[in-house]
Structures are given as structure tokens and as C-alpha cells.
């Protein structure tokens, strides 16, 4: 098994194209062609984690946070980033980061937070637009179902909780085969008219290559007529944050206690709770204060995130319980999420969870 095989699987969980523009997810050091020994999963790929991986026989560290965000002009070991890169290269330990792309999928970081709180009926808090495309292809009636099935098998036709979604319209296609062609129907040099269906299917933009390859392979024509257009529709399974419901409403103090217990917290920074019970809960792992107003507009009774600044607490408008549980604390169970996926997919590998607590923040009690 090569490291590239592990990466290809991880990219089915969180496609790289879903990372934010400022991010630097992906393979940061090492080679995808290396044979993988074992895998160590961590939230951060610090020097200590890399040395732990080496000591445990793992030559791949899968981390949520990229250790390298910007360009490195020098690598002299003067800071923690450079020391981690040196340790990685020196010990032949590859580093792979799966960051905001994992934040932006409905089954990612925020889903793990929601699971800890027992939330139900979860959906993306702020879905992204510009991620959907539509394929129009023109197929002879005799092969329409075969081509449609190939597109579905390649991942096309998903809309929310529905799969194999498409639309067809009947019409007549015309073409004249030139010398050197090998037409499926008709004669060379003569215009041919064929009963065809126009099939329309929506798909995520990052699946375009596989969708088109499957469609062309299944299509009987030598030259396939098709169109691909970009859509402004929001993709409801992709975006920032998550919102769901508690199985039963809780008074604010009981909700805060639930947070404290489920995330192993010693302290919670929060706004003055509004005089109502907590039922609808929005959340975002990491630094999520940019979503406070969205959470408020969504009708959430509470919003849980990290890294909230003083003035940002005012954005709750005394209508929302805004709880800052800490960056590391909100994302800590991402390690379990990744380890479980990797172990299920690669049961013959040792997938280990780091024993290093990389949280740089301490609380004096």
C-alpha cells in the first residue's frame, strides 16, 4: 500500500477542491509513492508528533491542521514550523493535512461535534454556492438508460437525500458522418436523423472528470454531444458550520454543563444566556465567529465555536447563547473521526491516535 492510496481515500471523504483559498491542505512533505508502514492521526503535526510517529513505526502523519500555511523562505529550525518540517524530512515521515475541506463537508469536523452533543436533524449552517454543475447529454433512445446508469454510478444525480435524479426530454438529433468516421447509426456522407433523449443531471464540480469519463465510455456514439454548465445553486451538503436540534430542550445551565462534560472542558466563555431554553444548536469547529450572525438568523438558540474575540460576543445581540469552548477543544474529536474512517478502510494497517496533546493553550485553575 502506497501513501498515495491513503491520500486518494481521504480525498473521497473531503475533496481538496473544497478547501478555502487561504488553506494549504494536502501532502506537505514526503512522497505519495512511498510504501506506507502505519499511520498516526493528530490534530497538529508538531515536531513532537512527528518524532512520536517515527518511534511508533508510522511514516505517515494525517493531521487536521497544516503545519505549513505560507511559504518558507528558509528552513533553519528557528521556529516550530521549521523544526517540524526538518523532523519530517530527516525521519522520512510524510505529512498530510485535511483541513478546511474536512470542515466543509456535512460528515466532517462539525458532524463529530454534533454527535458529541446528540444533535438530530443536522444540516449545513451556511451552504456554499458555485459548487454544482449540470450535464446535458444527447443519447439515442435505445441507450439512454445505460448511459444514465453510468452517470449515476459515477456519482451524478444527488440532490439532498435523493439519488439518481435526472430529467429527460425527447427530440431528434441530426448529423452527417464524414469520410474516416465510424458512425454508430447512419451512413457516411448522408445526413441522418435519430430519435434521441436529452438527459440532464446535476453533479458536484469536483466529480466532473469521472462523470464525463463514465458518460463517454457508456455512450454508443463515436463523437458525444454534451454540455456542462455551472450553477449558482447552493450545495446543501457542503459549507460552513452545522445546525441541529437537541433531542429535548435544555435550560441554559444544563446545556453548558452538557458542553463541559462532552468536550472535557475546564472553562467556557459565553454570553449571558437569553431567557429561553436551548433547542436549536449551531456549531463550528475551530475559529467560527464569522458565522455568529448566520447562526442568529437561522433561529439557533445557541452557537458553539472557538476563538471568539471580545467585541464579537456582542454579535449575539442578547438573543443567542454564544459559547467559546476553545479551538483545540472544539476539534479534538476530529482525531477519532479520521482514525475510524482510516481503520475501517484499511483494516490491515495500524492506525494510531497521537498521545501528544498539541493544544498550546492552558487554563490556570
Tens digits of residue pLDDT in 302-339? 999 999 999 999 999 999 999 999 999 999 999 999 99
pLDDT of 340 over the 90 cut: yes
| In a domain? residue 220 | yes
- Let me know the angle formed at the C-alpha of 351 by 346 and 357, rounded to the nearest 5 degrees: 150
**Structural domain boundaries enclosing 195:** 131-231
pLDDT of 146 over the 90 cut: yes
Read off the pTM: 0.92
Contact 319, 255 (CB under 8 A): no
Contact 35, 62 (CB under 8 A): no
CA distance 292 to 256: 18
For the segment 229-237, the average pLDDT, to the nearest whole number, is: 95
| In a domain? residue 358 | no
Tell me, yes or no, whether 122 and 135 share the same domain: no
Per-residue confidence (pLDDT) for residue 139, from 0 to 100: 97
Tell me, yes or no, whether 163 and 190 share the same domain: yes
CA distance 125 to 243: 5
Per-residue confidence (pLDDT) for residue 169, from 0 to 100: 97
Per-residue confidence (pLDDT) for residue 365, from 0 to 100: 82
Tell me, yes or no, whether 114 and 189 share the same domain: no
Which residues contribute to the annotated binding site?
64-65, 103, 327, 331
| In a domain? residue 362 | no
CA distance 289 to 310: 11
Per-residue confidence (pLDDT) for residue 160, from 0 to 100: 86
For the segment 118-130, the average pLDDT, to the nearest whole number, is: 97
Per-residue confidence (pLDDT) for residue 204, from 0 to 100: 96
What CATH number does residue 293 fall under? 3.40.1390.30
Tell me, yes or no, whether 117 and 264 share the same domain: yes
| The last residue of a domain, from among 231, 258, 288 | 231
For the segment 58-64, the average pLDDT, to the nearest whole number, is: 98
| The last residue of a domain, from among 231, 256, 289 | 231
For cell 454543475, what's the residue? 133
| The last residue of a domain, from among 195, 210, 231 | 231
| In a domain? residue 305 | yes
CA distance 262 to 264: 6
Label residue 70 by pLDDT band (50, 70, 90): confident
What value does the mean pLDDT of the chain take?
97
pLDDT of 288 over the 90 cut: yes
| In a domain? residue 212 | yes
Say which DSSP state 32 is in. Answer: T
If one counts the domains in the chain, the total is 3
For the beta sheet containing 94-97, the strands, ordered from the edge strand earlier in sequence to the opposite edge, are: 26-29, 94-97, 60-65, 39-44, 351-353
CA distance 163 to 306: 35
b/e code 324-346 from CB counts within 10 Å (16+ = b): bbbbbbbbbbbbebbbebbbeeb
Tell me, yes or no, whether 67 and 141 share the same domain: no
CA distance 224 to 353: 49
CA distance 150 to 133: 17
pLDDT of 187 over the 90 cut: yes
Tell me, yes or no, whether 120 and 138 share the same domain: no
Tell me, yes or no, whether 289 and 314 share the same domain: yes
What CATH number does residue 176 fall under? 3.30.70.120
For the segment 241-266, the average pLDDT, to the nearest whole number, is: 98
Tell me, yes or no, whether 124 and 245 share the same domain: yes
Tell me, yes or no, whether 143 and 115 share the same domain: no
| In a domain? residue 78 | yes
Tell me, yes or no, whether 200 and 152 share the same domain: yes
CA distance 145 to 143: 6
CA distance 190 to 181: 12
Residues 6+ apart with CB under 8 A from 333: 112, 113, 115, 116
**Which of 343, 250, 348 is CA-nearest to residue 302?**
250
* Dihedral angle sign, alpha carbons of residues 344, 331, 361, 24: positive
| In a domain? residue 31 | yes
Which residues contribute to the annotated binding site for a divalent metal cation?
64-65, 103, 327, 331
DSSP 233-279: -EEEEEEEEEEEEEEEEE-HHHHHHHHHHHTT-S--EEPPPPSS-EE
Tell me, yes or no, whether 7 and 142 share the same domain: no
| In a domain? residue 360 | no
User: What is the chain's length?
Assistant: 365
Tell me, yes or no, whether 118 and 153 share the same domain: no
Amino acid at each position: 500500500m502506497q501513501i498515495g492510496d491513503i491520500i486518494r481515500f481521504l480525498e473521497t471523504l473531503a475533496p481538496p477542491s473544497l478547501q478555502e483559498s487561504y488553506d494549504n491542505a494536502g501532502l506537505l512533505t514526503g512522497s505519495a509513492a512511498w510504501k506506507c508502514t502505519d499511520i498516526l492521526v493528530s490534530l497538529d503535526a508538531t515536531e513532537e508528533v512527528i518524532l512520536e510517529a517515527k518511534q511508533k513505526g508510522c511514516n505517515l502523519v494525517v493531521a487536521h491542521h497544516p503545519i505549513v500555511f505560507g511559504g518558507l523562505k528558509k528552513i533553519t529550525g528557528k521556529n516550530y514550523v521549521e523544526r517540524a518540517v526538518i523532523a519530517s524530512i530527516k525521519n522520512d515521515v510524510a505529512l498530510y493535512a485535511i483541513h478546511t475541506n474536512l470542515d466543509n463537508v456535512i460528515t466532517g469536523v462539525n458532524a463529530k461535534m454534533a454527535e458529541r452533543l446528540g444533535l438530530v436533524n443536522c444540516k449545513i449552517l451556511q451552504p456554499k454556492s458555485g459548487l454544482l454543475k449540470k450535464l446535458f447529454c444527447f443519447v439515442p433512445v435505445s441507450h439512454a438508460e445505460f448511459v444514465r446508469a453510468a452517470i449515476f454510478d459515477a456519482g451524478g444525480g444527488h440532490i439532498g437525500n435523493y439519488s439518481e435524479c435526472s430529467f429527460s426530454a425527447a427530440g431528434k438529433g441530426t448529423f452527417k458522418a464524414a469520410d474516416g468516421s465510424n458512425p454508430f447509426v447512419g451512413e457516411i456522407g448522408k445526413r441522418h436523423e435519430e430519435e434521441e433523449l436529452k438527459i440532464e443531471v446535476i453533479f458536484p464540480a469536483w466529480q466532473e472528470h469521472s462523470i464525463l469519463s463514465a458518460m463517454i465510455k457508456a455512450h454508443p456514439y463515436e463523437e458525444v454531444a454534451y454540455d456542462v454548465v455551472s450553477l449558482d445553486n447552493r450545495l446543501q451538503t457542503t459549507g460552513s458550520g452545522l445546525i441541529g436540534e437537541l433531542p429535548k430542550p435544555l435550560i441554559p445551565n444544563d446545556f453548558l454543563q452538557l458542553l463541559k462534560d462532552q468536550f472535557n472542558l475546564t472553562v467556557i466563555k459565553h454570553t449571558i444566556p437569553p431567557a429561553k431554553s436551548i433547542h436549536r444548536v449551531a456549531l463550528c469547529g475551530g475559529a467560527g465567529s464569522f458565522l455568529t450572525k448566520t447562526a442568529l438568523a437561522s433561529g439557533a438558540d445557541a452557537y458553539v465555536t472557538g476563538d471568539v474575540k471580545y467585541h464579537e460576543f456582542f454579535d449575539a445581540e442578547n438573543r443567542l447563547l454564544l459559547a467559546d469552548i476553545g479551538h483545540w477543544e472544539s476539534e479534538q474529536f476530529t482525531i477519532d473521526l479520521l482514525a475510524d474512517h482510516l481503520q475501517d478502510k484499511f483494516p490491515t494497517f495500524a492506525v494510531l491516535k497521537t498521545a501528544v496533546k498539541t493544544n498550546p493553550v492552558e487554563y490556570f485553575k
